[in-house]
Chain A
Amino acid sequence: MKKLLILSGKGGTGKSTVAACFMHYVANYIAADCDVDAANLALLFPQQNSLTKDFYGAKKAEIDATKCILCETCVNNCRFNALKRCGTQIVVDEFKCEGCGLCAYLCPVKAITMLDDKSGTIKIQSDSPLLVSAELEIGRGNSGKLVTAVKNEAVKRRKNEELMIIDGAPGIGCPVIAAVNDCDFILIVTEASVSALNDLQRLLQSLAVHAIKTAVCINKADLNPSATAAIKAYLKEEKIVLLGEIPYDEQVIKALNKQQSIAAYKCAANTAIHNIYLKVCALMAKDK
């Protein structure tokens, strides 16, 4: 099975729009929404059968007040400022605690226990197509681990599908790094803006160490021809394949607001995305 990851650098350039179209074009695939901070793909693919699984990504410190002698060793050694003395109690800030366990180790009276903490929910839509997504628990920061769990869950449930479509997160940080791991092909959806080019450059630099085949498409390319020209010049210089340009198309917003993919519409954006899809298939087939 080939794993196709869709990334963008900048947010809101159209990753999920492109991913949803691809999901309409292909017959036999599985999908994973790895933008766990803001998962949206499932909105376009509502299904009858879905199940959820709790995800425990880290631990949180809990203090037994009856044992605590208020020595404040934990407070003074926590690198995350997650412990504070409030009157005659030490209080753990559940949002700041990263679960390292140093406080529990250092506590001279063993008053601290590290407890499993639910940091997200994995949602499995098991009708065909299989779509695995996740929701990060409010205030929890283990998005990288959750991304890995989402991908693993999808792979585990694969039957004979030959393609996995992965919708990634914006940025270049841990959820992106976790999504990139063991992918076969990365399609970057950028847009014709100065900001998007800046973010694209940072994303491509961060991907350079992975040696994964990468190609780019430009969304809303006609909106700002000078930015499109700058992106093309940059890609040429870096020898990165440009797969196509998607025109600005109001049909995209109209379709999204009906919670539909534009793959169901006859419009310029759909035609462009379909052409990009065909080129992605050709490039992936060439590989090995």
Chain B
Amino acid sequence: MKVALISGKGGTGKTFIATNLARLFNNALYVDADVEEPNGSLFLNAPLLETQAVYKHLPYISAKKCIKCYRCVDFCAFNALALSKECILLFPTLCHDCHGCAAVCPQGALSYMKKEIGHLERRQVKETTVLSGVLNVGEASGTILLEKLNELIKAETRPVIIDAPPGSGCSVMAAIEEADICLAIVEPTAFGFANFKTIYALTQALGKRLAVVVNKVYGEFKELERFLQAQNLPCLTGIPLRKDIALKTAKAELVLDDASCLGYFEEIQRKLLRLSR
């Protein structure tokens, strides 16, 4: 079973639920795919066992060979190359690593340099393996890191819990690529509901199965209930808004030692296993 936790809105409790859930399984792989702001290893804390650098390619233009025909500048769809009188300028964060500039260069003046954009970290917390993607500060896109994580997830036979980034854009799509179930963590508020509808549409478009956990339940939020019923989406559990849970989570502590919390996670686990069968 490979499950990806998504939310649309940030701060609904993806990492809180993903880390606790991962520890509940006997031998899960927890993957922190929120590479811009990876926090999973704060909750699943253990000495770093291994790091692996992840690179992207950046074009390097040989000034000797360049005849300033600017074909590369014209070709670049991402405006990563610009012309100046003396040379061609590169804006590294805009480069999508498509290799188009080298293909159009008539002089063979372009080659590629490797640039580290981030790294993967591996930890072991008892029987749970913790794999985090960490994007270097200043980089615009973590998609390449997510591709590396996906290669590892693909080959995995243990249960995999993927902690996706917030939003609904390209990084979320990449984070859920290998998941067979998406688990939306929804806050029953006007904001939470609005953003949930967006990721619902995303999972539909990508043909992913979707289940829901409602987190921070505080009174009733009928619109969400009606929507889940109308779309026939399974709601695995509702976790109440409790100050004690909020405090433990704010301290990056797990809540499984509290019997009143453990029940919610056991329910999620049981229903996920049933869904994945």
Contacts and interface: CB of A to CB of B under 8 A. Distances in A.
Contacts of A199: 37, 39
B10 A170 contact: yes
Given A173-B140, A195-B39, A141 B12 contact: no
Contact of A141 (B170, B189, B190, B221): B170
Contacts of B191: 16, 40, 43, 256
B9 A102 contact: no
B90 interface: no
B138 A206 contact: yes
Nearest to B147: A81
A105 B206 contact: no
Given A12-B11, A138-B202, A173-B141, A224 B251 contact: yes
Nearest to B191: A40
Given A192-B250, A259-B190, A171 B9 contact: no
Given A10-B11, A100-B100, A170 B167 contact: yes
Interface in A49-68: 58-59
Contact of A202 (B98, B137, B169): B137
A5 B139 CA distance: 20
B35 to A, nearest CB: 8
A206 B37 contact: no
Interface stretch (B152-160, B241-249, B257-265): B241-249
A195 B99 contact: no
Nearest to B36: A171
Interface stretch (B21-29, B193-201, B231-239): B193-201
Contacts, number: 187
Interface string A121-158: 00000000000000110111101100000000000000
Contact of A256 (B173, B190, B252): B190
A193 interface: yes
Contacts of A58: 77
Interface string B80-118: 000000000000010011111001100000000000000
B55 interface: no
Given A11-B11, A12-B12, A136-B169, A102 B194 contact: no
A174 interface: yes
Contacts of B166: 11-12, 37-38, 170-171
Given A102-B100, A139-B206, A9 B167 contact: no
Nearest to A141: B170
A140 B189 CA distance: 26
Contacts of B206: 95, 139
B78 interface: yes
B10 A38 contact: yes
Size class of the contact patch on chain B? 35 or more
A199 B10 CA distance: 12
B98 A102 contact: yes
A195 B45 CA distance: 13
Contacts of A174: 93, 140-141
A209 B198 CA distance: 33
A38 B195 contact: yes
A139 B205 contact: yes
A27 B136 CA distance: 40
A79 interface: yes
Nearest to B134: A202
Nearest to A206: B137
A278 interface: no
B42 interface: yes
Given A98-B96, A102-B98, A253-B218, A205 B37 contact: no
A140 to B, nearest CB: 7
Interface of B: 7-12, 15, 34, 36-37, 39, 42, 75, 77-78, 93, 96-100, 103-104, 135, 137-142, 165-173, 187, 189-191, 194-195, 198, 201-202, 205-206, 218-219, 221, 241, 243, 246-247, 249-252
Closest 9 CB pairs of A and B: A11-B10, A12-B11, A141-B170, A37-B167, A100-B98, A193-B250, A171-B36, A194-B252, A195-B39
18 contacts: A11-B9, A11-B10, A37-B172, A43-B194, A95-B206, A101-B77, A102-B100, A102-B103, A138-B168, A144-B140, A172-B137, A173-B36, A173-B140, A174-B140, A177-B140, A194-B251, A209-B138, A253-B218
Given A171-B166, A172-B137, A174-B93, 18 more contacts: A12-B9, A12-B166, A37-B198, A38-B198, A100-B96, A102-B98, A136-B168, A138-B202, A138-B205, A170-B37, A171-B34, A171-B165, A173-B36, A173-B139, A194-B42, A198-B42, A206-B137, A253-B218
Interface of A: 8-13, 16, 35-38, 40, 43, 58-59, 77, 79-80, 95, 98-102, 105-106, 135-136, 138-141, 143-144, 169-175, 177, 191-195, 198-199, 202, 205-206, 209, 220, 223-224, 226-227, 248, 250, 253, 256-257, 259
